Amino acid sequence: MNGTAGLTNDASATTNGGATNAAAGGPGQSSGATLSAWERFVSGEDTIRGVRPEILASWYRCREQYQVDPHLAQAPPAPGEGPGQGEHSLLHGTVFAELGGAAAMAATDAEALGGIITVTDSDGRILATWGDRKTLGLAEESNLAPWSAWPEWTTGTNGMGTALECHQPVIVEGAEHWCQGFHGWACAGVAIRDAATDKAIAVLNVSLRGPEIPVRLAGWLRQNAATVQAILRKRERQSGIELVAAFARAAAGAQGPVAAVDMAGRVVIANDEAGLLFGVPSRTPAADPASRWVSQVRELAGLAQHATRKARYDPHWTGSTRVYIPFIQAPLPVSVSPVFQSHQMIGLLLTGGSADGDPVDTPESEPLASRLPGRVIARRDDRLVVLALREIRYAESDGNIVWLATDQGRLRANAHGLDNLEHELDGCGFLRVHRRFLVNLRRIKEIDQGFKGSLYLITEVRTHETVPVSRRHAPVLRRALGV
C-alpha cells in the first residue's frame, strides 16, 4: 500500500507525526494504581480519579450499558459465518485488503517486538492476525484470534472494541482492560470510518503481552489509518461528483423540489425549491464529504438507511414516503431513487411532490406529534434525573458522552452520543449549531458576533455562558432565529 509506515519507523515517534503516548491516548497511571481504580469501579464506586477519560467512559459503558462480566477470561466466538454476514459492501472489502496489506508488510517488525497485528470488521470480529508465533499462541488462550468477537458490548474495554467507539487512536494497557482476563496485555487500535456516514468499517490493532505499548506503535497506527482514510475521502469525493451529475439530469425537466443526498442523508446539492424546504443552500454543490449540508429534515438519514437495505437486494428499487418539513410544518410527498456508481450505491435522488414507488415505512416517517419527548433523562452520580426540556440550555458531546447544561447544574445525559439525543429532540426547539453542540433555541439570550463573522450564542448573560456556532451551521441558525 502506498505510504505504508513501518512499525520501526522512527518518524512515527516525532511530536508532529506520532506524538507522545498521552497525545495518542497513551498510558495512564501506574499499573498498581490502575488496578486499584479498576477494583473500586467494578465494586460499584463512581468517583474514580487518575483514570484517563476515554478509559473511564468505556468502563461506564461496560458496567452500566453493556453489563460485561469483568472477570471474563476469553472473548466469545463471533456470530454468523463470516465478516459482516453479507452486510459489507465492496468498498469495505477494499478497506480490509488495504489494512491487510499494511499488516502483512509490518508482520516482520511486529514479530521482532513480540507483538501481533489484528484487523477486525465493524462489529469487532477479528478477520486475520499477523506477528510473533509465540504471542499468537498465547493470544489464542484468550480467543485473540480470527472469528472471535472483540466489541465492547461483549468483551469490554480493549484496543479493538474501544476504537470502534472513538474517533482517535486508543491505547489500553494492563488493568485498563475491563475484563480481568486481559490485564496481562497492552493494545492499541484505530478505527477506519466511512467518509460519508462516519460509521466504523474496520479496526487496525496491535497487541503485546506486557504492561505498555511503545510510542512508535501509536504513530504507525495513525499513519496507516490516515492513508486508508485518504483513499476513502477521495472515493467519496468522486461519488459526490457523480451525485451532482445525477442531480443535474433529474432536475433538468423537474418542476418541483429535487435534491441529491449521500449515504448519511446529508444534502450534496438541491434546487431552489428543495433548498428552501430542506433548509440548505440551493444550487451549491458539495461533492467533498466535509462540506455537505445537514438538513433540518431529520428523516433523510433514515431514508438513506432504508434505501440501502432495499437496493442491496434490488438495484432497480424505488420508493416513496412523506417527510415532515419544519419550514411549512407539513408533510411532503417524496419519491426516492438510489444512485449507483460501479454497481455500488452512493446516494439518493429525492423528488418532492410525487409519491411513486414502493412505500417506505420507517420510524423516521411517523407523524412528528407521535414521537415528541416531553423530558430528557440525565444522571447525577448514581441517580437518574428527569429534566423538562425548558430546563436544558444546551448539550455538549465529549466523545460518546453527552453533558447537559441545565438549571440543575451540569449533568451527564443518559443518551449515548449527541446524534441520538438530537434525533430524540427533533422538532422540540433544539438545533445542532456545531458538531459538538446542540442548543435550546428558547434559551438563547444574545448572539455575539466574533472575529471574521464567527458567532457565539449566549445562554446565560450573568455568567456569559456561550455556545460556539460553526460556519457550516450558521445559515440554518440564522433562518431559525429570523436574523
Q: Does residue 397 share a domain with residue 263? A: no
Q: Does residue 86 share a domain with residue 59? A: yes
Q: Which among 240, 242, 270 is positioned nearest to 258, based on CA atoms?
A: 270
| CA gap 181, 175 in Å, rounded | 9
| CA gap 466, 450 in Å, rounded | 12
What local confidence, expressed as pLDDT, does residue 93 receive? 66
Q: Which among 128, 157, 139, 149 is positioned nearest to 80, based on CA atoms?
A: 149
How many CA atoms, within 13 angstroms, populate the side-chain half-sphere of residue 77? 4
| CA gap 474, 454 in Å, rounded | 9
**Residue 271, burial from CB neighbour count under 10 angstroms (0-12, 13-18, 19+):** buried
| CA gap 96, 91 in Å, rounded | 9
- Work out how many domains the chain is built from and give that number: 3
Q: Does residue 132 share a domain with residue 115? A: yes
CATH label of the domain that carries residue 414? 2.40.50.1020
Q: How far are the Cα atoms of 71, 168, 274 from residue 394, in angstroms, in the given order?
A: 38, 25, 29
318, 352, 368 - which closes a domain = 368
Q: Does residue 55 share a domain with residue 152? A: yes
Q: Does residue 298 share a domain with residue 211? A: no
Tell me the chain's radius of gyration from C-alpha atoms: 24
CATH label of the domain that carries residue 361? 3.30.450
Q: Does residue 363 share a domain with residue 376? A: no
Q: What is the DSSP string of 28-48?
A: -S-HHHHHHHHHHHHTT----
Residue 310 lies in a domain: yes
Q: Does residue 218 share a domain with residue 288? A: no
339, 368, 397 - which closes a domain = 368
Angle between helices 90-105 and 215-251 (to 10 degrees): 160
Q: Does residue 394 share a domain with residue 332? A: no
Cell readout for 185 is 496485555
| CA gap 102, 219 in Å, rounded | 14
Residue 5 lies in a domain: no
| CA gap 116, 108 in Å, rounded | 10
Q: What is the DSSP string of 173-214?
A: EGGGSSSGGGTTEEEEEEEEE-TTT--EEEEEEEEEESS---
Cell readout for 447 is 448572539
Residue 56 lies in a domain: yes
Q: What is the DSSP string of 421-480?
A: HHHHTTTTTEEEEETTEEEEGGG--EEEE-GGG-EEEEEETTTTEEEEE-TTTHHHHHHH
Cell readout for 272 is 431552489
Q: Which residues pair with 378 in a beta bridge?
A: 385, 413
Residue 4 lies in a domain: no
Residue 163 lies in a domain: yes
Q: Does residue 467 share a domain with residue 318? A: no
| CA gap 322, 367 in Å, rounded | 9
Cell readout for 317 is 428499487
| CA gap 68, 61 in Å, rounded | 9
- Which residue range is the domain that position 321 belongs to? 253-368
Pair 115, 131: CB distance under 8 Å: yes
What local confidence, expressed as pLDDT, does residue 64 receive? 87
What local confidence, expressed as pLDDT, does residue 371 receive? 39
What local confidence, expressed as pLDDT, does residue 34 receive? 93
Helices (H) and strands (E) in the chain, counts: 12, 21
What local confidence, expressed as pLDDT, does residue 7 receive? 59
**Residue 331, burial from CB neighbour count under 10 angstroms (0-12, 13-18, 19+):** middle
Residues contacting residue 255 through CB under 8 Å, at least 6 positions apart: 353
| CA gap 233, 60 in Å, rounded | 33
Q: Does residue 381 share a domain with residue 361? A: no
Q: Distance between terminal CA atoms of the chain?
A: 50
Residue 242 lies in a domain: no
Angle between helices 31-42 and 53-60 (to 10 degrees): 30
Q: Does residue 261 share a domain with residue 332? A: yes
CATH label of the domain that carries residue 56? 3.30.450.40
Residue 441 lies in a domain: yes
| CA gap 81, 87 in Å, rounded | 12
Residue 247 lies in a domain: no
Q: Does residue 224 share a domain with residue 116? A: yes
pLDDT tens for the chain, 483 residues: list them. Answer: 444 455 554 433 333 333 334 333 344 445 789 999 999 999 998 878 888 888 998 999 999 888 999 999 999 998 754 434 444 455 566 677 777 777 677 767 767 778 888 989 999 999 888 888 899 999 999 999 999 999 999 999 999 999 999 888 899 999 999 999 999 999 999 998 988 988 898 999 999 998 888 877 777 888 888 888 898 899 999 999 999 999 999 999 888 999 999 999 999 999 999 999 998 999 999 999 989 998 888 888 888 888 888 887 888 899 888 888 887 878 889 999 999 998 889 999 999 876 655 666 544 433 333 334 468 888 887 678 888 888 999 999 988 789 999 988 899 998 778 888 888 887 788 899 998 999 998 899 888 886 666 788 999 888 888 999 988 888 888 877 766
309, 341, 368 - which closes a domain = 368
Chain-centroid distance, C-alpha 55: 17
